[in-house]
Protein backbone atom coordinates (compact mmCIF):
# COMPACT_ATOMS: atom_id res chain seq x y z
CA UNK A 1 0.00 0.00 0.00
CA UNK A 2 1.35 3.42 -0.94
CA UNK A 3 1.72 6.22 1.56
CA UNK A 4 -1.04 8.83 1.83
CA UNK A 5 1.38 11.63 2.78
CA UNK A 6 4.92 12.75 2.07
CA UNK A 7 5.21 15.12 5.03
CA UNK A 8 3.89 15.30 8.58
CA UNK A 9 3.51 18.67 10.29
CA UNK A 10 2.52 18.90 13.96
CA UNK A 11 1.56 22.26 15.49
CA UNK A 12 1.67 22.75 19.26
CA UNK A 13 -0.40 25.92 19.68
CA UNK A 14 -0.56 28.55 22.41
CA UNK A 15 -3.09 31.16 23.51
CA UNK A 16 -0.40 33.28 25.20
CA UNK A 17 -1.15 37.00 25.40
CA UNK A 18 2.46 38.06 24.78
CA UNK A 19 5.37 36.82 22.64
CA UNK A 20 6.93 33.66 24.06
CA UNK A 21 9.45 30.99 23.09
CA UNK A 22 10.80 27.86 24.74
CA UNK A 23 8.66 25.65 26.94
CA UNK A 24 4.86 26.12 26.75
CA UNK A 25 4.96 28.18 23.57
CA UNK A 26 4.24 27.45 19.91
CA UNK A 27 6.24 24.66 18.30
CA UNK A 28 5.95 23.48 14.71
CA UNK A 29 7.53 20.15 13.87
CA UNK A 30 8.04 19.13 10.24
CA UNK A 31 8.98 15.63 9.15
CA UNK A 32 9.64 15.54 5.40
CA UNK A 33 11.86 13.81 2.86
CA UNK A 34 15.23 15.16 1.82
CA UNK A 35 16.79 14.94 -1.67
CA UNK A 36 17.60 11.29 -0.99
CA UNK A 37 13.99 10.62 0.10
CA UNK A 38 15.01 10.08 3.71
CA UNK A 39 12.71 11.45 6.39
CA UNK A 40 14.29 14.41 8.16
CA UNK A 41 12.93 16.50 11.00
CA UNK A 42 13.07 20.26 11.49
CA UNK A 43 11.38 22.45 14.06
CA UNK A 44 10.36 26.06 14.52
CA UNK A 45 9.52 28.01 17.67
CA UNK A 46 7.84 31.26 16.55
CA UNK A 47 7.23 33.79 19.32
CA UNK A 48 3.72 34.75 18.19
CA UNK A 49 0.72 33.21 16.45
CA UNK A 50 1.13 35.70 13.59
CA UNK A 51 4.69 34.48 13.04
CA UNK A 52 3.49 30.89 13.29
CA UNK A 53 0.90 31.44 10.56
CA UNK A 54 3.55 32.94 8.28
CA UNK A 55 5.92 30.06 8.94
CA UNK A 56 3.23 27.43 8.42
CA UNK A 57 2.19 29.06 5.14
CA UNK A 58 5.81 28.97 3.96
CA UNK A 59 6.14 25.30 4.92
CA UNK A 60 2.98 24.38 3.01
CA UNK A 61 4.01 26.46 -0.01
CA UNK A 62 7.36 24.65 -0.14
CA UNK A 63 5.64 21.26 0.02
CA UNK A 64 3.20 22.35 -2.68
CA UNK A 65 6.07 23.26 -5.00
CA UNK A 66 7.54 19.82 -4.37
CA UNK A 67 4.19 18.21 -5.16
CA UNK A 68 3.99 16.63 -1.71
CA UNK A 69 0.85 16.09 0.33
CA UNK A 70 1.01 16.93 4.04
CA UNK A 71 -0.82 15.83 7.13
CA UNK A 72 -1.05 18.88 9.42
CA UNK A 73 -2.03 18.18 13.01
CA UNK A 74 -3.16 20.89 15.43
CA UNK A 75 -3.19 20.24 19.18
CA UNK A 76 -6.52 21.94 19.86
CA UNK A 77 -10.15 21.10 19.02
CA UNK A 78 -11.34 22.02 15.54
CA UNK A 79 -14.95 21.64 16.63
CA UNK A 80 -17.04 22.48 19.70
CA UNK A 81 -19.51 20.33 21.66
CA UNK A 82 -22.65 19.35 19.80
CA UNK A 83 -25.44 21.87 19.85
CA UNK A 84 -23.39 25.09 20.03
CA UNK A 85 -24.23 26.34 16.54
CA UNK A 86 -27.94 25.70 17.12
CA UNK A 87 -27.89 27.30 20.57
CA UNK A 88 -26.32 30.44 19.10
CA UNK A 89 -28.78 30.37 16.17
CA UNK A 90 -25.89 30.60 13.70
CA UNK A 91 -26.77 30.67 10.00
CA UNK A 92 -25.96 27.89 7.59
CA UNK A 93 -26.52 24.16 7.41
CA UNK A 94 -22.98 23.17 8.38
CA UNK A 95 -22.55 23.53 12.16
CA UNK A 96 -18.75 23.28 12.32
CA UNK A 97 -18.29 25.90 9.61
CA UNK A 98 -20.91 28.18 11.18
CA UNK A 99 -18.94 28.17 14.44
CA UNK A 100 -15.68 28.77 12.55
CA UNK A 101 -17.21 31.77 10.77
CA UNK A 102 -18.62 33.16 14.01
CA UNK A 103 -15.27 32.93 15.79
CA UNK A 104 -13.55 34.61 12.84
CA UNK A 105 -15.89 37.58 13.28
CA UNK A 106 -15.38 37.80 17.03
CA UNK A 107 -11.70 37.05 17.62
CA UNK A 108 -9.18 39.90 17.66
CA UNK A 109 -5.65 38.52 17.72
CA UNK A 110 -2.91 41.13 17.26
CA UNK A 111 0.63 40.70 15.97
CA UNK A 112 2.03 40.97 19.51
CA UNK A 113 -0.21 38.07 20.70
CA UNK A 114 -2.64 40.42 22.49
CA UNK A 115 -6.05 38.76 22.05
CA UNK A 116 -9.64 38.95 23.25
CA UNK A 117 -10.28 35.26 23.98
CA UNK A 118 -11.78 36.07 27.37
CA UNK A 119 -14.08 38.63 25.80
CA UNK A 120 -15.16 36.09 23.19
CA UNK A 121 -15.92 33.49 25.85
CA UNK A 122 -17.80 36.07 27.90
CA UNK A 123 -19.93 37.15 24.93
CA UNK A 124 -20.78 33.57 23.95
CA UNK A 125 -21.76 32.93 27.58
CA UNK A 126 -24.01 35.98 27.49
CA UNK A 127 -25.76 34.72 24.37
CA UNK A 128 -26.11 31.17 25.68
CA UNK A 129 -27.05 31.60 29.34
CA UNK A 130 -26.78 35.26 30.32
CA UNK A 131 -24.27 34.27 33.00
CA UNK A 132 -20.71 32.92 33.50
CA UNK A 133 -21.40 29.54 31.87
CA UNK A 134 -20.36 27.36 30.05
CA UNK A 135 -16.99 29.08 29.38
CA UNK A 136 -14.95 29.70 32.51
CA UNK A 137 -11.40 30.57 33.55
CA UNK A 138 -9.64 33.93 33.39
CA UNK A 139 -7.27 36.08 35.46
CA UNK A 140 -9.19 37.88 38.25
CA UNK A 141 -8.57 41.22 36.54
CA UNK A 142 -10.46 39.98 33.47
CA UNK A 143 -13.49 38.70 35.39
CA UNK A 144 -16.89 39.83 34.13
CA UNK A 145 -20.49 39.14 34.99
CA UNK A 146 -20.49 36.56 32.21
CA UNK A 147 -17.01 35.08 32.78
CA UNK A 148 -15.49 34.08 36.10
CA UNK A 149 -12.01 32.82 37.08
CA UNK A 150 -13.44 29.56 38.44
CA UNK A 151 -16.19 27.29 37.19
CA UNK A 152 -19.48 28.37 38.74
CA UNK A 153 -21.47 25.15 38.35
CA UNK A 154 -21.59 21.69 36.85
CA UNK A 155 -23.16 20.90 33.48
CA UNK A 156 -26.75 19.73 33.74
CA UNK A 157 -28.90 17.64 31.38
CA UNK A 158 -30.29 20.76 29.67
CA UNK A 159 -26.86 22.34 29.11
CA UNK A 160 -24.46 21.91 26.22
CA UNK A 161 -22.18 18.93 26.98
CA UNK A 162 -19.04 19.57 29.00
CA UNK A 163 -17.05 17.23 26.77
CA UNK A 164 -17.17 16.19 23.14
CA UNK A 165 -17.44 12.49 22.35
CA UNK A 166 -13.76 12.57 21.33
CA UNK A 167 -12.75 14.07 24.68
CA UNK A 168 -14.54 11.28 26.51
CA UNK A 169 -12.84 8.67 24.31
CA UNK A 170 -9.42 10.25 24.85
CA UNK A 171 -9.76 10.02 28.64
CA UNK A 172 -7.99 12.82 30.44
CA UNK A 173 -8.69 15.47 27.81
CA UNK A 174 -9.62 18.88 29.18
CA UNK A 175 -12.95 20.55 28.47
CA UNK A 176 -13.06 23.09 25.67
CA UNK A 177 -15.02 25.42 27.97
CA UNK A 178 -11.85 25.97 30.04
CA UNK A 179 -10.17 29.22 28.96
CA UNK A 180 -7.35 29.60 31.47
CA UNK A 181 -4.88 27.65 33.64
CA UNK A 182 -3.04 24.48 32.58
CA UNK A 183 -4.79 22.54 29.85
CA UNK A 184 -6.84 25.53 28.70
CA UNK A 185 -7.72 24.07 25.31
CA UNK A 186 -10.69 26.44 25.07
CA UNK A 187 -8.43 29.46 24.83
CA UNK A 188 -6.27 27.70 22.24
CA UNK A 189 -9.33 26.77 20.18
CA UNK A 190 -10.75 30.29 20.23
CA UNK A 191 -7.55 31.81 18.80
CA UNK A 192 -6.59 28.69 16.84
CA UNK A 193 -9.72 27.94 14.82
CA UNK A 194 -9.62 31.32 13.00
CA UNK A 195 -5.99 30.61 12.06
CA UNK A 196 -6.90 27.21 10.59
CA UNK A 197 -9.84 28.84 8.83
CA UNK A 198 -7.49 31.34 7.18
CA UNK A 199 -5.13 28.54 6.19
CA UNK A 200 -7.97 26.63 4.55
CA UNK A 201 -9.67 29.60 2.92
CA UNK A 202 -6.39 30.69 1.31
CA UNK A 203 -6.05 27.26 -0.33
CA UNK A 204 -9.65 26.25 -0.95
CA UNK A 205 -10.30 22.63 -1.84
CA UNK A 206 -6.58 21.84 -1.68
CA UNK A 207 -7.10 21.67 2.09
CA UNK A 208 -9.57 19.23 3.62
CA UNK A 209 -10.39 19.27 7.31
CA UNK A 210 -10.84 15.83 8.85
CA UNK A 211 -13.42 14.50 9.54
CA UNK A 212 -15.68 17.36 8.46
CA UNK A 213 -14.73 17.33 4.78
CA UNK A 214 -13.14 13.92 4.32
CA UNK A 215 -15.78 11.87 6.10
CA UNK A 216 -15.15 9.84 9.23
CA UNK A 217 -13.71 6.83 7.39
CA UNK A 218 -10.51 5.13 6.35
CA UNK A 219 -9.02 7.34 3.67
CA UNK A 220 -7.82 6.22 0.26
CA UNK A 221 -5.71 7.86 -2.39
CA UNK A 222 -8.90 8.41 -4.41
CA UNK A 223 -10.45 10.31 -1.47
CA UNK A 224 -7.48 12.70 -1.48
CA UNK A 225 -7.19 13.35 -5.20
CA UNK A 226 -6.36 17.04 -5.62
CA UNK A 227 -5.85 17.48 -1.87
CA UNK A 228 -2.50 18.92 -0.75
CA UNK A 229 -3.21 19.19 2.97
CA UNK A 230 -5.33 17.23 5.42
CA UNK A 231 -5.81 19.20 8.64
CA UNK A 232 -6.65 17.20 11.74
CA UNK A 233 -6.85 17.55 15.50
CA UNK A 234 -4.11 15.69 17.35
CA UNK A 235 -3.32 14.97 20.99
CA UNK A 236 0.47 15.21 21.63
CA UNK A 237 0.23 13.56 25.04
CA UNK A 238 -0.98 10.41 23.26
CA UNK A 239 2.66 9.58 22.47
CA UNK A 240 5.32 9.15 25.12
CA UNK A 241 8.24 10.70 23.28
CA UNK A 242 11.87 10.23 24.25
CA UNK A 243 13.51 13.64 24.60
CA UNK A 244 16.78 14.35 22.86
CA UNK A 245 19.46 16.24 24.73
CA UNK A 246 18.24 19.73 25.58
CA UNK A 247 14.77 19.27 24.11
CA UNK A 248 11.80 20.87 25.86
CA UNK A 249 8.73 18.65 26.29
CA UNK A 250 6.77 20.47 23.56
CA UNK A 251 9.45 19.80 20.94
CA UNK A 252 9.72 16.15 21.98
CA UNK A 253 5.98 15.77 21.57
CA UNK A 254 5.68 17.33 18.10
CA UNK A 255 8.66 15.30 16.88
CA UNK A 256 7.35 12.09 18.42
CA UNK A 257 3.87 12.55 16.99
CA UNK A 258 5.17 13.34 13.50
CA UNK A 259 7.35 10.21 13.62
CA UNK A 260 4.40 8.17 14.90
CA UNK A 261 2.12 9.13 12.02
CA UNK A 262 4.93 8.68 9.49
CA UNK A 263 5.56 5.16 10.75
CA UNK A 264 1.87 4.31 10.55
CA UNK A 265 1.76 5.66 7.01
CA UNK A 266 4.88 3.74 5.98
CA UNK A 267 3.31 0.49 7.16
CA UNK A 268 -0.05 1.19 5.55
CA UNK A 269 -1.86 1.68 8.87
CA UNK A 270 -2.46 5.43 8.88
CA UNK A 271 -5.42 5.32 6.49
CA UNK A 272 -7.43 3.31 9.01
CA UNK A 273 -6.72 5.86 11.76
CA UNK A 274 -9.07 8.28 10.00
CA UNK A 275 -11.99 5.88 10.45
CA UNK A 276 -14.43 5.99 13.36
CA UNK A 277 -13.56 3.73 16.30
CA UNK A 278 -15.42 0.45 16.42
CA UNK A 279 -18.59 0.63 18.45
CA UNK A 280 -19.05 4.39 18.12
CA UNK A 281 -22.76 5.20 18.23
CA UNK A 282 -24.57 6.71 15.26
CA UNK A 283 -25.22 9.82 17.33
CA UNK A 284 -21.54 10.24 18.14
CA UNK A 285 -20.54 9.56 14.54
CA UNK A 286 -22.93 12.21 13.24
CA UNK A 287 -21.77 14.74 15.84
CA UNK A 288 -18.11 14.15 15.00
CA UNK A 289 -18.68 14.56 11.26
CA UNK A 290 -20.80 17.68 11.45
CA UNK A 291 -19.72 19.74 14.45
CA UNK A 292 -17.49 18.21 17.12
CA UNK A 293 -14.63 16.73 15.12
CA UNK A 294 -12.39 13.96 16.43
CA UNK A 295 -8.82 13.40 17.61
CA UNK A 296 -6.65 11.49 15.14
CA UNK A 297 -5.51 8.22 16.66
CA UNK A 298 -8.15 8.11 19.43
Task: Please report the pLDDT score of residue 241 as a whole number.
Answer: 82
Whole-number Å distance between alpha carbons of 103 and 40? 36
Are residues 272 and 218 in contact, defined by beta-carbon separation less than 8 angstroms? yes
79: left (phi over 0), alpha (psi -120 to 50) or beta: beta
Q: Enumerate the β-bridge partners of residue 178.
A: 136
Task: Please report the pLDDT score of residue 159 as a whole number.
Answer: 98
Q: Enumerate the β-bridge partners of residue 44.
A: 28
Whole-number Å distance between alpha carbons of 152 and 138? 13
Which residue numbers in the chain have pLDDT < 70?
A: 1
Question: How many other C-beta atoms lie within 10 A of the C-beta of residue 229?
Answer: 23
Task: Please report the pLDDT score of residue 1 as a whole number.
Answer: 57
Task: Please report the pLDDT score of residue 183 as a whole number.
Answer: 87
Alpha helices in 35-93 (DSSP H): 49-65, 84-87
The end-to-end CA distance of the chain, in Å, is 23
Whole-number Å distance between alpha carbons of 83 and 161? 8
Residues in the chain: 298
Whole-number Å distance between alpha carbons of 191 and 207? 20
State the DSSP code for 268.
Answer: T
Task: Please report the pLDDT score of residue 244 as a whole number.
Answer: 85
Task: Please report the pLDDT score of residue 242 as a whole number.
Answer: 85
Question: If DSSP codes are grouped into helix, strand and coil, which group holds residue 291?
Answer: helix
φ, ψ of residue 247 to 5 degrees: the values are -75, 135
Q: 10: number of CA atoms within 13 Å, CB side? A: 26
Amino acid sequence: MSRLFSAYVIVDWSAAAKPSTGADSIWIGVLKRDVRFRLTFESYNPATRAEAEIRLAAILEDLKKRGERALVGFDFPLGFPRGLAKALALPGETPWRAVWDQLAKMVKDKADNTNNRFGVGSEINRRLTGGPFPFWGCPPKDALTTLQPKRTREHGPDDLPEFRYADEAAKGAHSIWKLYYNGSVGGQAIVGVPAVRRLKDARGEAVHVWPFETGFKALTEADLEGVAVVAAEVYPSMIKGVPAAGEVKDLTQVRGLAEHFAKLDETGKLAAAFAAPKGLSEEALAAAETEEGWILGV
